[in-house]
């Protein structure tokens, strides 16, 4: 395998590990510190959790990538017929796919978090409910 193709393959594996760890960290931070995020607004809470998840994921990928690369050393790097262009295209496609899945996962976690934080109002208690005309005329 060409050295540049090996570099692309290593980048693909490390990027996948990073994005999976960011998603796991975001979910963990959201669940563990749910009460603390209520003190912030919606945007500040989301940005703080994303920043913390990226930081935790970046720190964790340093230790995990060495272990995973050693485990995958045989199957991932033994393809001698793989060209540099094919490796680059695989890396770009793989990173885009995992990034899309990570974004979808973060959106789903955020939707569930907001649903738990702000339960839906009952129809009887809603402010927008219109009174019948005879009740409105008695005021």
Check: pTM over 0.85? Answer yes or no.
no
pLDDT at 135: 63
How far apart are the C-alpha atoms of 59 and 79, rounded to whole Å? 30
Give me 116's structure tokens: 């738990």
pLDDT at 133: 66
34-86 pLDDT, tens per residue? Answer: 777 777 888 888 898 999 999 999 998 888 877 777 777 766 666 667 788 88
Burial of 10 (0-12, 13-18, 19+ CB in 10 A): middle
pLDDT at 103: 94
Contact 50, 109 (CB under 8 A): no
Contact 103, 24 (CB under 8 A): no
Number of domains in the chain: 1
Q: What is the mean pLDDT of the chain?
A: 81
79-133 pLDDT, tens per residue? Answer: 667 788 888 888 899 999 999 999 999 999 988 887 776 766 666 555 666 666 6
Share of the chain above pLDDT 70, in %: 78
Strands annotated E in 47-138: none
Q: Is 129 helix (H, G, I), strand (E, B) or coil?
A: coil
Which residue segment(s) compose the domain that 68 sits in? 3-137
């Amino acid at each position: 395998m060409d050295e540049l193709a090996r570099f692309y393959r290593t980048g693909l594996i490390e990027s996948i590990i990073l994005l999976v760890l960011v998603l796991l960290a975001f979910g963990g931070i959201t669940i563990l510190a749910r009460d603390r995020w209520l003190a912030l607004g919606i945007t500040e809470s989301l940005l703080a959790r994303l920043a913390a998840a990226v930081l935790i994921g970046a720190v964790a990928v340093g230790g995990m990538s060495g272990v995973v690369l050693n485990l995958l050393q045989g199957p991932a790097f033994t393809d001698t017929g793989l060209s540099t262009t094919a490796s680059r295209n695989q890396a770009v496609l793989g990173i885009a796919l995992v990034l899309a899945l990570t974004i979808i996962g973060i959106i789903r976690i955020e939707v569930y978090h907001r649903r738990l934080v702000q339960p839906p109002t009952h129809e009887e208690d809603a402010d927008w409910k219109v009174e019948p005309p005879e009740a409105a005329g008695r005021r």
